[in-house]
Amino acid sequence: MTLKWRSIYSVNVKEIDEQHKKIFNIINRVSAIKKGTSKEDKMKIINELKDYGIYHLNKEEKYFEKFNYLDKAPHIKQHNEYREKISEFTDKCLKSKQPENIKELSVFLRNWWINHIQNIDIKYSDFFNEKGLY
Give me the domains of the chain, ranges plus CATH numbers: 36-130 (1.20.120.50)
pLDDT in tens, 82-111: 999 999 988 887 777 666 678 888 999 999
The pLDDT value given to residue 119: 97
pTM given for the model: 0.93
Q: What is the 3-state secondary structure (H, E, C) of 83-126?
A: HHHHHHHHHHHHHCCCHHHHHHHHHHHHHHHHHHHHHCHHHHHH
